[in-house]
Structure 1
């Protein structure tokens, strides 16, 4: 059988059939009609190639070249598969398509087969793929090593992010410092890598080079980056620029460093050098330390160098992650643009967050008005509980070991200003008590509710929340007086001299005359206050307000204003002026009007109060035997502390029969030298000052009115004359030598008398003298004209007649005399015993 014969079930197709097949399947013609010597036509001439491997991947070609046959392959899916094949020389059991070298050799040793470099499709594909791989590897490996890998590494370094979470500057010198940083590198990519920067990085800020900073090796994990914990010496290469940077960092909210360097990267077994590191690192600045608080402020003593020593416990919050080992700090303290003190702190390392600072120093002596005013205002705010904003200005920073200041740090630090709030003292009680040793009140009708108040002596207990010594020089008050829980009056006093010091805690001063202004609407309460002051032994009052003082200190005379004051005090009351009796020292009848007789009294009263009250003209009602018989007037009256002896005028003017009778008794007793108890009582009409009317109406005094004491009786001597006709007419004449004990002239207008001898009336007279009154000058003796004497002739009369002749007659005279004192007329019931009586004129 021919080697290329077809199986019986498939006879070889004829030429037209093959052509039909090719044409129907749109394949190129498989059987060429022309041959050349070079196309190996003998190998395939007239042959239709079957699928020698019994598969559906048969290839049919019309090319005369084996090379063309491998390049021009077309699928022929419709070619039927033969069950056996002349070329299928596979051993039994082998699978179709399992070609062996022997089979291929047999195939190519047939004299009719073409010779080719490739014997089959698989070997050709294998060689082609290997060639392509070799070519690609030859190109890509150098490309990857020398181009792609560095680019990837540079991109990874460039795309990574560098952050510093904290930084600390320590061991500071002029040219370097140790910089300890913590941070992280992120976005380094999916590969583990180590990054070295052998020469460190150049650090710049705002285009200015600051210095060079070595970096520790960075070992980055895939996708995780790396944490940085490094401590290296930062070499300062530009002190001027670094000084400007530090000043910027101290005062601004944030800053950005630029880091530039050349890195070596190891990743995926490759070592790459010359990778450029260029990173910006932004950190928060210190923002001028916006939160500085004073926890405590004390001024314990005078300072050895002058001024007042101060100690301040404060806290400074550093909002920046940058810490600095500063050393010793020195500051000036300014207030109201005046330098008032200097403080320092030692061995300070600035850290992130809270920085407790213990500052000590002094308030310096002030010799200008503005400086003293600034210190005064600061102390005033502290004492009053108000905040005062001071300014702390950095002056010097130097190493704690006593070395010279580091220029770039000193120049940056110097002039840094921080506003620091000195909180006012809390719950301070500076004045714990006020004692009004004296109080003077001057009332007037037109200022009833704004009397003038003053004090010649007041005392106060005080303490200050500091230990330094001070001496009080002047003091003033702006206070409201409360009584019964209600505001009564305001008292605003100017500065007055004061004495006292902080060691004793006591001061004395005075109050210059100022209005005590009753709070509108509190008039009734003030009336009650005045009444209690008059009747009670003590009157409590609350004094609330502020005081101000000028105190001498080692920094100068400091004025402290707004010292809060809320103390209980009291005034000693008048107790109704009854602690000691009222004494009428003397009585003098000095005249009269048609309405009243004028009597001058010298009265002594005792006031137990420490209040002196001037109340203008006042009057009291005068009572005797319960009957109103007149008024006691006190003009421009001032009731002083202690004993008061005042001249008063009593208008004697009883009205009504009962009052006239009582008044007549009083006068008779007075003329006779008898002491009488009288009552002096106030009323709402006692004063025209409204604020005192209620108070004076409560006064009820009792006094002993002494009788008239004279060295002569009113009737010095009596005379009567008789004749022979008297025995028959029983009428004679009589006259008297009358003495006027008063201090004003007195007129007898009518006299009615009875003369007795040994109890027997020997004569009477009833003489109207209105037309020819007997005028007796003050303290003089006058012999009256003859009065008609009605004799009662009897043994007694005859006996008296003989006695008178002998010159030793004394009689008793009982009389009712109507007198005029000035223009006031009244009747006296006067009786006198043992009156020397003579016969004749």
Structure 2
């Protein structure tokens, strides 16, 4: 479109020139843009204009900026302006611009370390930065010292090296000297710096800046430098706390603490030798010294303090020391304090302003072991007694004559344990069963080099937790029937101890240890029965008093009241009766225990066989079995239900003959007629209870030859351990020629005095005697016994 407009303009112009024959253009405005060519005429110093279409020179037209004179004027004006502006820029504007940039910049300090302190100054090393330093690269130089002020007081001055800035930032890394101007003000600042959270320094000086090839001098520098204070070192931690040994002359104990002091401030210091006093709850504990002490800016500063903890005599101070040591051994935090005494950078001479600053500082030092100490370990209960009481279930009384514990103190000092007390819990299979609180202090013996303490556990209530009664019952059951059992004890121990810092009471020292004890192992013992005495009988049972040995291979003692166990014949596994132990008390050793056996088997044959063999002194293998009904002590029911004890019980010892003498009277008529002999024997009762005889069937033989039978029903009481003559009994001889032939050919010829007054003849007696043990209303049984007895035998003619 622009091309069309341009062509149309040229056509109209040519047409106008052709019809009007106009030879001259009066002004430049009459010449359309682009219609003619212009050529500079060197002779006239002007531009010639040519007609573009016709190729001849047009009338001359000149614009104002095409004039040479115009450009000369412009250049002249520019030179004048520059001659005025450049000095103005250099000497007026640029210094103000640099000052504005310096004023708008910010300064920070990430590290400032003070070393080689003296009364008048120190060396400092700086790491910091400047921001908003302008867009041009520049070098900032400090021809004059920087004055450091704080709260309106000039503290000191320091010389700084030049700093190069680029991209608006500069890094400060310098080592220089700091000269104290106002010693009193600097001492006050040193005090506050150690304790306050933040502070502000004001830095003033005159600097010069090199930028864009120029050096701008006399630039004022005034910067507020906000920094973190040491804030009392915040949280001081204890990495280790030890007592290497006893101080001589009863002065106390050497102490060594490795601490870490958190310094949030960018300011670090080389302190050299630092002396501190230690306190706890107003008690002056002692004094410690750190050598080559250095505070590192923006980081924890390790510090090793060594010195002396003093011997204490005042009871309040001893109580505080006791608490301090107890808490440390227990892993608890105890907040102690350390107050500055002096700082000696060279180890000899103190610096007043530095010492004054430290004297105003109180460090709060939380004394705590960084790792659990596990002071008490490897507990061994050499013996343990438990007394159960039916009237107070699940609160048995526990005691021990000897408990040993290994212990390792983190102190290499002389310690003597005088007495101990503890509270403990028993854990079994991961569950807390009971708590034991020993309210009574017991005497203790200690072997510090050997790491052993020996003490007793006085009778103390063992309180079973409500939610652990079933587990406690199982625990007692396992101790009863197993050869050994492992459980865990955990609790808190206390000890009155002699130490180089005084007699202290170490309280609440935690301990956790596995304990393995030998169990009663009841199911593997042979509970031998001795001194069996039948001393009574009722219609329901025979009562036998006896001693039962309950050997206990363990160190466990159990007192559990009355126990009723079931007795079986071990061979046939048939029921015999109950074994009653009126007062079960099992201690380490053989434990001969008075008991009663209530004999009343259900099988009559077994009953008669047992009693008969008892009279002969036979030994009976038995099995004694418990049940939950065996005891009224609830804690022992589970244990009793698992008991199955082997036992052996002897019969009458020594065995005694029931017939001691007898007479037999017969004549030829009875022998040849009804073949009867009237017999009477003297019978003894070897029992401690009345034996009431209701009859007997006795088979009599002589040298293997059947001699006759006594089958009599009668009632006769034989007193305990007494003897009576039986009423006349009829001995019925065998009938037939054989017995007569035996009498005449063997028996009478063997004893010719029978007919002349009588002869003592040894007969074999096989007796089946019906009795009631204990009297007429006693326990019925049939006693079968066999014996040989010489009986006075007489034979007459009539």
Please, what TM-score do these two structures have when normalized by structure 2? 0.72
Q: Cα offset for 1:291?
A: 4.8
C-alpha contact (below 8 Å) 1:259/1:281 kept by paired residues? yes
Match of 2:190 in 1: 246
Q: Deviations over 1:752-810 (max 9, x none)?
A: 556666646478462523xxx4443x3334445x5254575975689979427545323
Q: Distance in 1 between matches of 2:625 and 2:694?
A: 36
How far off its partner does 1:376 sit? 5.0
Residue-by-residue CA offset, 1:159-179 (whole Å, 9 max, x unaligned): 776665554444433344455
Q: Does 1:418 align with 2:371?
A: no
Which of these residues, 606, 623, 643, is aligned with residue 680 of structure 1?
Answer: 623
Find the counterpart in structure 2 of residue 24 from structure 1: none
1:596-675 to 2 correspondences below 5 Å: 596-624=541-569, 626=572, 627-655=574-602, 659-671=603-615, 673-675=616-618
Gaps in structure 1 of 5+ consecutive residues = 1-55, 57-91, 97-121
CA 1:174–1:836: 2 relative to 1, 3 Å:
same
Residue equivalent to 1:787: 728
Question: Which residue of 2 is the match for residue 479 of structure 1?
Answer: 425
C-alpha contact 1:715 1:835 (8 A) present in aligned 2: no
Aligned partners of 1:676 and 1:163: how far apart in 2? 104
Match in the other structure for 1:318: 263
Report the count of equivalent residues: 701
Q: Is the 8 A contact 1:718 1:736 kept in 2?
A: yes
1:46-195 aligned at under 5 Å gives the runs: 166-178=111-123
Aligned pairs for 1:404-553 within 5 A: 404-422=349-367, 424-426=369-371, 429-445=374-390, 449-472=394-417, 473-474=419-420, 476-482=422-428, 485-487=429-431, 489-494=433-438, 496-517=442-463, 525-539=471-485, 541-543=486-488, 545-550=490-495, 552=497, 553=499
Match of 2:3 in 1: none
Matched, 1:717 2:661: yes
1:82 matched to which residue of 2? none
* Mapped contact 2:345–2:351 kept (Cα < 8 A): no
Contact in 2 for aligned 1:292/1:316 (Cα 8 Å) = yes
User: Cα gap change, 1:762/1:387 in structure 2, threshold over 3 Å: closer, same or farther?
Assistant: closer
Work out which of the residue numbers 223, 226, 231 in structure 2 matches 1:282.
Answer: 226
More displaced, 275-284 or 451-460? 275-284
The answer to whether the 8 Å contact 1:620/1:686 transfers is yes
Corresponding residue of 1:399: 344
2: CA distance, partners of 1:93 / 1:250: 90
Instruction: State whether residues 346 and 400 of structure 1, in contact with CA within 8 Å, keep that contact through their aligned partners in structure 2.
Output: no
Q: Distance in 1 between matches of 2:451 and 2:246?
A: 18
Contact 2:138–2:209 (Cα < 8 Å) also in 1: no
The change in CA–CA distance for 1:416 and 1:611 in structure 2 (over 3 A counts) is: same
Question: Matched residue of 2:231: which SS?
Answer: coil
Does the 8 Å CA contact 2:238/2:369 hold for their aligned counterparts? no
**CA–CA distance in structure 1, aligned partners of residues 161 and 700 of structure 2:** 149
Larger Rg: 1 or 2? 1
CA shift at 1:703, angstroms? 0.7
Residue aligning to 2:712: 766
Name the TM-score, length of structure 1 as normaliser. Answer: 0.69
Cα deviation digits, residues 337-360 of structure 1 (max 9, x gap): 655454321123434233332222
Partner-residue secondary structure (3-state), 2:540: coil
Structure number with higher strand proportion: 2
Which of residues 306, 311, 321 is equivalent to 1:360? 306
Question: Is contact 2:619–2:650 with CA below 8 Å preserved after alignment?
Answer: yes
Distance change in 2, residues 1:169/1:674 (3 Å): closer
The answer to whether the 8 Å contact 2:319/2:504 transfers is no
Quote the RMSD (CA, aligned, Å).
4.9
Aligned position for 2:13: none
Q: Deviations over 1:431-484 (max 9, x none)?
A: 5533333232333445665544333333334434554454444253523322xx
1:810 corresponds to: 761
Aligned to 2:22: none
Of 583, 597, 605, 2:528 maps to: 583
Deviations 1:66-106 (A, max 9, x none): xxxxxxxxxxxxxxxxxxxxxxxxxx97889xxxxxxxxxx
Change (3 A) 1:463 1:825: same
Counterpart-to-counterpart distance in 2, 1:730 and 1:165 = 138
Q: Aligned pair in 2 of structure 1 residues 536, 150: CA closer, same or farther (>3 Å)?
A: closer
SS at 1:247 equivalent: helix
The answer to whether 1:828 aligns with 2:789 is: no
For each residue in 1:204-262, what CA deviation from the matched residue of structure 2 results, as whole angstroms up to 9, or x when unmatched? 43234545x26468789899798777766655454443222111111112222345678
Query: How many angstroms does 1:644 deviate by?
Result: 2.0
Query: Aligned partners of 1:825, 1:229: CA distance in 2, in Å?
Result: 114
Tell me, yes or no, if the aligned pair for 2:685 and 2:718 is still in contact at 8 Å.
no
Report the Cα distance in structure 2 between the residues aligned to 1:521 and 1:192, rounded to whole angstroms.
81
**Gap change, CA 1:558 and 1:309, over 3 Å in 2:** farther
SS of aligned partner of 1:288 = helix
Name the CA distance, whole Å, in 2 between partners of 1:284 and 1:532: 66
* Match in the other structure for 1:206: 151
Paired position in structure 2 for 1:102: none
Secondary structure of 1:246's counterpart equals helix
**Alignment partners' CA distance in 1, 2:589 and 2:232:** 68
Aligned pairs (5 A) from 1:364-403: 364-367=310-313, 371-372=317-318, 374-376=320-322, 379=325, 382-383=328-329, 386=331, 388=333, 390-403=335-348
Which ranges in structure 2 are unaligned for 5 or more consecutive residues? 1-25, 27-41, 47-68, 734-739
Q: 1:661 to 1:417 in 2, by over 3 A?
A: same
Counterpart-to-counterpart distance in 2, 1:719 and 1:222:
146
For residues 642 and 396 of structure 1, what CA distance do their matches in structure 2 show? 66
Cα separation, 2, equivalents of 1:431 and 1:310: 22
Question: 1:643 Cα deviation (Å)?
Answer: 1.0
- 1:682 is displaced (CA, Å) by 0.9
- Relative distance call for 1:357 and 1:523 in structure 2 (3 A) is closer
- Give the 3 Å change call, closer, same or farther, for CA 756–801 of structure 1 in structure 2: farther
Q: RCO higher in 1 or 2 (8 Å CA, sep ≥ 6)?
A: 2
Pair 1:496–1:159, CA change in 2 (3 A): same
